[in-house]
């Protein structure tokens, strides 16, 4: 094996993962340009310190964890970390493309309202199909915390979906009885 091949051995894996890593960074930061910059810094670190990658661990989980760790470390250097973690809704909505209908707007609005860690929890479980343990390793929390987050977030989102479904029902009643329910009795 040549030296170059040895040192570059996680490169093809990272390149193959690029769209997924970018999505992870997008949801973490909530905005494309900053997410790209974060991903660039994280990739620099991963490549320079690739000896830290433990053989046998899935590369995607390791890379996600490194991006998250990088974000946390940088957040800690800000005077107002909480302010940095907030997302601009318009920039956030751009992550999902331009052809969103009302339903997508509801979903993107809901995701924008969540803290970054909760968005990532949803991403890792529902999109990346990680199990609770793997997702916990990425976010450095227990599988139980992942489970309780999922329950809480799913319940809140389901409540919102149910709540938005109800006014539509009222509207159809109003259309059927323009004078109101009393007028028809």
- Residue 60 in contact with residue 122, Cβ under 8 Å? no
Q: Find the binding residues for other proteins in span 139-178 (CB under 8 A).
A: 150-151, 154-155, 157-159, 161-162
**Least distance in Å: CB of 84 to other proteins?**
20
* By the rule CB under 8 A, 1 interacts with other proteins: yes
Q: What is the three-class DSSP state of 79? A: coil
140 versus 180: smaller Cβ distance to other proteins: 140
Q: Find the binding residues for other proteins in span 18-37 (CB under 8 A).
A: 18-20, 22-23, 26-27, 32-33, 36
47 versus 174: smaller Cβ distance to other proteins: 47
85 versus 150: smaller Cβ distance to other proteins: 150
Supply 31's token pair: 């905005």
CA-based R_g, the chain, Å: 21
* By the rule CB under 8 A, 40 interacts with other proteins: yes
d(CA 10, CA 42): 14
C-alpha distances in Å from residue 150, one per residue of 7, 107, 147, 155 = 39, 15, 5, 8
Among 86, 115, 127, 181, binds other proteins (CB under 8 A): 127
DSSP output for 69-116: HHHHHHHHTSS-HHHHH---HHHHHHTT-S---HHHHHHHHHHHHS-H
Sole window of 69-77, 83-91, 127-135, 169-177 interacting with other proteins (rule: CB under 8 A) = 127-135
Among 66, 67, 87, 128, binds other proteins (CB under 8 A): 128
d(CA 134, CA 109): 27
C-alpha distances in Å from residue 97, one per residue of 29, 49, 146 = 17, 34, 28
**Residue ranges binding other proteins (CB under 8 A):** 1, 6, 8-20, 22-23, 26-27, 32-33, 36, 39-40, 43-44, 47, 50-51, 53-60, 95-97, 100, 103-104, 106-108, 111, 122-123, 125-129, 150-151, 154-155, 157-159, 161-162
């Amino acid at each position: 094996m040549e030296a170059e091949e040895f040192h570059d051995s996680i490169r093809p894996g990272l390149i193959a993962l690029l769209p997924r890593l970018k999505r992870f960074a997008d949801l973490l930061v909530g905005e494309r340009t900053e997410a790209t910059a974060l991903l660039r810094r994280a990739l620099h670190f991963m490549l320079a310190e690739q000896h830290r990658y433990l053989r046998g661990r899935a590369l995607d989980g390791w890379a996600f964890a490194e991006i998250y760790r990088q974000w946390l470390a940088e957040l800690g250097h800000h005077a107002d970390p909480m302010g940095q973690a907030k997302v601009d809704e318009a920039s956030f909505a751009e992550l999902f493309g331009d052809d969103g209908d009302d339903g997508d707007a509801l979903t993107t609005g809901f995701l924008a309202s969540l803290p970054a860690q909760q968005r990532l929890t949803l991403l890792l479980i529902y999109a990346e199909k990680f199990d609770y343990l793997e997702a916990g390793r990425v976010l450095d929390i227990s599988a139980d915390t992942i489970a309780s987050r999922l329950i809480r977030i799913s319940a809140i989102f389901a409540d919102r979906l149910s709540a938005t479904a109800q006014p539509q029902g009222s509207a159809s009643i109003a259309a059927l009885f323009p004078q109101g329910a009393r007028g028809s009795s």
